[in-house]
Structure 1
Amino acid sequence: MAKKVLSILIGSECTKVCELNYKKKYKNKGIRVYRSLVFETPKGSVEDGFIKDMKVFGEELKILLKAAKIKSDKVIFSINSSKIANREIVMPPVKEKKIMDIIKTGASEYFPIDVDEYILSYRIIEKTTAASKRNQRKIDKKEKKLAKKQAKENEKALKKKSKTEIIAENMELMDSIDAETDYNNTENDKISLENQSKEIKNQMRLAVYAAPAAMIKNYYSFAKLMHLDILAIDYYGNSSYQAIRRQSKRGINVYVQMNEQDTIISILKNDILILQRTVSYGLYKLINIIQERGYGQDGDEQDPIVLLRDNDMLSRDEGNIELEEVAISDSYGSTASRQALRESIRESLFTLVGNVVRMLDYYKSSHKQIDIDTIFLTGALVEIKGVEKFFSTGIGLPHKLMTKLSSVSASKRATAFRINPSNFLSLIGAVLSPTDFVPYEFVLKKQRRSMVIATTFLTLVCLIGSIGTVYVSYTDYQMASMELEEIRSEYESMELLSGAHDAYDLATAELMDLEKFEEMTGSNNDKIKDVIEQMEKKLPSSAVIHSMKFTETGVTMNVTANDEGTGSNALIAKILKQLKGIEYFQDNVDISGINVENRDGISKVNFVITCTYVN
C-alpha cells in the first residue's frame, strides 16, 4: 500500500499543500489526493523560495495542517526560486552512475556561479538511439505523404474556382511566392535535419539544475523544526514538467501554467520536453493592476479573484455584465470607469500573451517544419473567465483549459484541489520524479552510516564464529567429562582386574588431550571485537577501511583518509601515535604504502597499517 506524504510549494505570497499517496516508482499508476490546502504566506516570512522566518511560517503551517487533519510527517518540497539555475545539455550515452561526475567536471561551463556553494542535480529528458531516429524518420515520411496528398487536393480545388477567385488570388501573388519560398526553405530544413540525424549518433538530453546549498539547508532546517522527514526536494520547473508529461497528448502541444508569481511555458512533443521558459508574470501581478484601479480596496483580497472568475473582463463587448462603477482618485483627482478597468486587465494580460508568442516564434525559427497543435491553459488561468477566447484571438491557435488531470483522483476532503486541479500541477509532479537536492553533509553522513554498518556486520560475523568455536569445544569437553565420570563409576563398581587400570589410564590420557585442545582454542583472535572498537576510536572520522585481515600475530588494514588540510605526514604521524596507544600493539605499529591523491578537490591519503600483537 502506498504511504501518504505531504507535497508542499512555499511561495512568497501563497503556499500550497497536498496530502497524497506516494511510491518511488509510479509508472502509469494513478495518484490519490486525500487533502489539500492553500493559504496566504505570512508577510516577510518567505522571500524568493528562502524561508526567512521559520518560526512565524512554521506556526501558521502547523495550525492549518492541524485544522485540515493532515497528520503525515513525510514531506516533499518543490522550490520556486529565481536563484535556482537550470541548463539543458547534450552528451553521449553513459552509465547513469557516471553522469553526475561528468556534470561536476563541466559545471563551471554550464553555470556562471561558484559551484562549491551550489548543489547540482539533473533529470534525463530524452535518450536518442539509432532505432528511435529510424522510427522518427518513418513518421516524418508519412507526414510528407499526407502533405503531398493535401497539396494535390488543393490543386484540384484551384481548378474548380471561378474567375473572380483566380483574379483575387493573382492579386495576392507576392504572398503566394513568399509562401512558396517558405515551403522550399522548409523542405531544405527537413533535408538538412535528416542528414544531421544520420550523422549524429546516440545521445542524451539532460536538464541540469544548480540550487544554492544555503537554500537546501534552509529547507532541511525547517523540516527539522517542524519534525518532518524530507523524502526529496524538487525544482519547481521539473515538478511542472513531470506532471504535464503525464497529461500530454500526441503531437506538439504548449502548456501555459500561470502561478501566483510567475508563469511556466512548456513545449512538449508527445511527452518529451522540447523547450521550457519561466516568465515573471503571475496572478498577483494581475491582481495588483486591478487594485491599482481602485477595485477591492475595502480590504477583501478575494474581491479581484472573484471579479476575474465571475465576470468576463477580457472581452471588449461589455454586454450585460453588471459591475459597479468604481471611483478612484489619483494624484490628479481623475476618476476611472469600469471600461478603463477592463482595458487595464486586458493590457496587463497581453504581456503574458506577448511572451507566449515570442517563445513560439523562437521555437518555430528552429522547427519550421513542425506546427503547434494545441495550447493548454493551466493553473490560475483556468479560473479567469473568457481567458480561452482571449488567448485564441491573441495567438491565433486553438486553446483548451486543463480543468481535469488524468490518472489523478481526489477525495471529497481535498476541497481546494477539486476547485482547480491544474493549480496543483507542481505538487503532483514533485512526487513523480523529483530532482532531489541533497546537501553534501547528508551524503557524507550516509556514507559513514554505511561504513559503520559494514564494520558492525564484520564484527558480528567474527564474534559469532568465535562463539561457535568455543561452543563446539565446550560441548566436546562436557561429553568427555561425562564419559570420564561413567568410566570412573564403572571402574569403582568393577572388581580389580588387570585390564581396568589400563583403561583408566587411557581415559585419563584422552581427558588430558581434550583439556590441551581446549587451551589451544584460545588465540589472539579472541581480541578481534575489542581491537575493532579501539580502531574506530583511534582512527580519524574521515578514515575508510577498505580491507582488514586478522592473523594470529596481528592485523593488517588498507585505509583511506582525508588529510584535513594538515598534510599527509602530519596525518600519518597522528594516526601512528593514536594506534600505539592500543594496549595489544603498543609500539608494534607500522604504516607503509603511503599514497596521496586528489579527488574532487579533497586530498585523500591511502596507506597500509600493520599491527603486531604484544607477546
Structure 2
Amino acid sequence: MASKLLSIEISNELIKIAEVSHQGKKSVTVHKAATITTPENSVEDGNLKDVNALTEAIRAALKDNLISTKQVIMTVQSSTIASKEATIPQGKPSKMKEYVQNNASEYFPVGNLDDYSLTYAVLENINDKNEKSSRILAMAARYNLIDNYYKLAKNLGLTVVAIDYIGNSTLEMLKLQIDDTPSMVIQIGNDSTIINVLKNKVLQFQRTVPYGRSAVTNAVMENKKLSYQVAVELLSKGSLIHERLDGEEVTESLRYLINSISRIVDYYVSRNQSSPIEKAYIIGEGANVGGIDKLFANELNINFNKITELKNVEPDKVFRISKSELITYLSTMGACLDPVNFKQYTQAKTKASAKSIDTLKAVKVFVILSVIFAVASFAIAIVKVKGLEKTRDEYKKEIKQLQPAKKLYEEWLLAKDNYSGIWTFYSVTSSNNSDYLAKTLDKLEEVVPSDMFFKEIKVVDGKVTIKGYCRDKSTLAGVIVQLKNVPFLKNVSSTGGKESLSNDNLKIVEFGLSFDIVNPTNLEQQILEEAGLAKKSTTKTETKTEETKKEDK
C-alpha cells in the first residue's frame, strides 16, 4: 500500500486538511479530511501573518480527526507568486532546474532575485528531429512567503515533503477529470478562481482571478442578514442566482468574476484560433452554487457542465464523506500527485554554498596544477638561460624599459572590459524596452473587464497614467489588485473613484490610474549618461492617446 501523506491547503477563510495516499499519478485515496475556519486576521493572500494562531488551530484539527501522519505537503494560494511559460532544453531535473535559475532574470524582471524561491513544472516535452525541448511553467515566490510555511510545519512537528503552488495542484487533478478535447475548466475556490485551458490534457493557458465563492457568500450574508454557514446552504439550493445579470444584488456580486472570465477567454481565443474551446466545466466550491452554470452560460455564451464527482478519487472504506464534499478538496488532493517544490531560504542557500565549495575545490586543484606546471617550466627555463650569452644585468635593463608598456597594456585591458560591460548591459536593456511596453498593453488587455473604459492614456518617461470609468468600485479594485501583481509594474495607485451618471443615466465610477514600468523607454539614455558616453538630455518624450476606449469583444 502506498504511504500516507498529509496535505494542507490554507486560504484567507478556510484551512483544508486531508490524509491521502496515491498510486503514481493515476488515483488518489482519501483516508481522512477536515475543513476548519482560518483564525481571524492570520492569513492574507497566502501570507501567514499569525503562525502561532494557525499552529494551534491546525494542531487541534489533527487531534480531533485522529490524524497522525507526519509527512506533509502544503499548498500556497497567493496572487504574489509569479509564473512564466518558457521553452528550455530537455535534461535531468537537476540540470533543468539549474537552467531555470540561471535564466530567471529573463522570466521575472524583479529587483533582486536572491529574495525569491524559484521552481518549475514541466507542461509538455517536445521531441523534434533536431532537438528535444520542454515547455515549462517557471515560478517565483518570495522567501518571506515560503519560509513561514516551513515554520508552521516545524511548529506542528511535521516534515515538509514539498511546498506546492495551487495552480499546479489544481492542474494535476484536472488531468484525471477530462478527455483530450480542448477544454476550459473554471475552478471557483473560496477566495480565488483559476481559469485553465487544456488540450490533450496539457495546459495551454492558466490565469487566476482574485474573486471566488466568498464574494457571493458575503453578498448573501449582507443582503439576507445570515450567518456564513446558512448563506452557503442557501446558495446551494439554487434559488438566489438569476439566469442573467439583471441588477439583483446577489447575482450582481458575480459581475466582476464573469467580466474577468470573459476578458481572459477573449484573450486566449484571439491568440489560439486554431484550437477553439470545445468544452467548458465549472468545478470547486463554486460548482455548489445553484444556478451559476446557467448564469455563466448566458453571459459568456458557452455551455457549461458542472463537475460534481471526481474520477480516480475514492474515500477510504472506513471514511465516510459525500461526493459533493469530496470535490471541495480538489487542490488539496492534487498536491500529492506531482508537486513543485518551493525551497525555504536556508535550503536554497545551503545548496548554493555547497556548489560554491565544489567550485572552490576545483579552483584549488587548478591552482595546484598550475603551480606544478609553473615550477616545471621554470626549471626548464633555468637550463635554457645557462646557454644564453646575455648577462643578468642586461635582462633587468630590458625588463625595466618594458614596464611603462606593460602598465599601458593593463590600462587598455581594463578600459576594454569596462566598455564591453557597459555596452553589453545597454544592448540587453534596450532590446527589452519595447517588449515591456508591449507586455504592459497585453496585460491591460488581459485584466481589464468589458465594463471598464479608458478615455485617455499617457506614457511619460516610463510612467503610465490612465483616465477612465467603470461600473462600480469593486471592478476598479479588482483591476488594481491584478496590476499590483505584475512584476514589471510598480507604484500602482488610483485616484478619484467618484460616482456619477453617464449620458445614458447609468451609474458609473470615474477614476485615474497610474503606475511605473520598471524598464522605461529612456533607460538607454540614462545608461549612456551614467557611463559618461552621452550628454544629459533635457527633453522628454511623451506619447498621448486621446479618447482611447477598450471595446468589449
Whether the aligned pair in 2 keeps the contact of 1:544 and 1:559 (CA below 8 Å) is no
Cα distance in 1 between the residues matched to 2:366 and 2:184: 52
Deviation at 1:228, TM superposition (A): 0.4
Evaluate the alpha carbon distance shift between residue 544 and residue 96 of structure 1 in structure 2; reply closer, same or farther with a 3 A threshold: closer
Q: Percent identity between the aligned chains?
A: 31
Tell me the equivalent position of 1:522.
Answer: none
Evaluate the alpha carbon distance shift between residue 35 and residue 16 of structure 1 in structure 2; reply closer, same or farther with a 3 A threshold: same
- Structure 2: state its 5+ residue gaps: 368-553
Tell me the equivalent position of 2:193.
Answer: 263
Cα distance in 1 between the residues matched to 2:139 and 2:360: 34
Evaluate the alpha carbon distance shift between residue 444 and residue 371 of structure 1 in structure 2; reply closer, same or farther with a 3 A threshold: closer
Q: Deviations over 1:366-392 (max 9, x none)?
A: 222332121110001221112222222
Counterpart pick for 2:207 among 262, 268, 277: 277
Larger helix proportion, structure 1 or 2?
A: 1
Tell me the equivalent position of 1:357.
Answer: 262
Q: Deviations over 1:191-250 (max 9, x none)?
A: xxxxxxxxx965421100011112222111111111001111101111111111222212
Tell me the equivalent position of 2:11.
Answer: 11
Cα distance in 2 between the residues matched to 1:54 and 1:227: 14
Evaluate the alpha carbon distance shift between residue 546 and residue 22 of structure 1 in structure 2; reply closer, same or farther with a 3 A threshold: farther
Deviation at 1:108, TM superposition (A): 1.8
Cα distance in 2 between the residues matched to 1:56 and 1:82: 23
More off after superposition, 385-394 vs 1-10:
385-394
More off after superposition, 64-73 vs 106-115:
106-115
- The aligned length equals 366
Tell me the equivalent position of 2:221.
Answer: 291
Tell me the equivalent position of 1:87.
Answer: 84
Alignment of 1:340-351 (within 5 A): 343-351=248-256
The amino acid of 1:312's aligned partner reads S
Tell me the equivalent position of 1:124.
Answer: 122
Counterpart pick for 1:250 among 161, 170, 180: 180
Deviation at 1:80, TM superposition (A): 0.4
The amino acid of 1:126's aligned partner reads E
Evaluate the alpha carbon distance shift between residue 120 and residue 205 of structure 1 in structure 2; reply closer, same or farther with a 3 A threshold: same
Tell me the equivalent position of 2:232.
Answer: 305
Deviation at 1:60, TM superposition (A): 1.3
The amino acid of 1:247's aligned partner reads Q
Cα distance in 1 between the residues matched to 2:135 and 2:75: 22
Evaluate the alpha carbon distance shift between residue 559 and residue 73 of structure 1 in structure 2; reply closer, same or farther with a 3 A threshold: farther
Tell me the equivalent position of 2:511.
Answer: none
Q: Deviations over 1:482-509 (max 9, x none)?
A: xxxxxxxxxxxxxxxxxxxxxxxxxxxx
Tell me the equivalent position of 1:205.
Answer: 135
Tell me the equivalent position of 1:214.
Answer: 144
- Structure 1: state its 5+ residue gaps: 132-199, 318-338, 452-540, 548-556, 562-615
Cα distance in 1 between the residues matched to 2:131 and 2:98: 22
Q: Secondary structure at the match of 2:124?
A: strand
Q: Deviations over 1:543-602 (max 9, x none)?
A: 89979xxxxxxxxx97799xxxxxxxxxxxxxxxxxxxxxxxxxxxxxxxxxxxxxxxxx
Cα distance in 2 between the residues matched to 1:399 and 1:108: 39
Cα distance in 2 between the residues matched to 1:216 and 1:99: 22
1:42 and 2:39 equivalent?
Answer: yes
Q: Computing the radius of gyration over CA atoms, which structure comes out larger, 1 or 2?
A: 1
1:58 and 2:55 equivalent?
Answer: yes
Alignment of 1:462-473 (within 5 A): none
Tell me the equivalent position of 2:311.
Answer: 406
More off after superposition, 422-431 vs 254-263:
422-431
Whether the aligned pair in 1 keeps the contact of 2:188 and 2:213 (CA below 8 Å) is yes
Deviation at 1:407, TM superposition (A): 1.1
Deviation at 1:306, TM superposition (A): 1.2
Tell me the equivalent position of 1:229.
Answer: 159
Whether the aligned pair in 2 keeps the contact of 1:410 and 1:418 (CA below 8 Å) is no
Cα distance in 1 between the residues matched to 2:90 and 2:42: 43
Evaluate the alpha carbon distance shift between residue 416 and residue 263 of structure 1 in structure 2; reply closer, same or farther with a 3 A threshold: farther
Alignment of 1:438-477 (within 5 A): 438-442=343-347
Q: Secondary structure at the match of 2:267?
A: helix
Q: Secondary structure at the match of 1:398?
A: coil
Q: Secondary structure at the match of 2:310?
A: coil
Counterpart pick for 2:30 among 29, 33, 36: 33
Whether the aligned pair in 2 keeps the contact of 1:9 and 1:427 (CA below 8 Å) is yes
The amino acid of 1:3's aligned partner reads S
Whether the aligned pair in 1 keeps the contact of 2:188 and 2:212 (CA below 8 Å) is yes
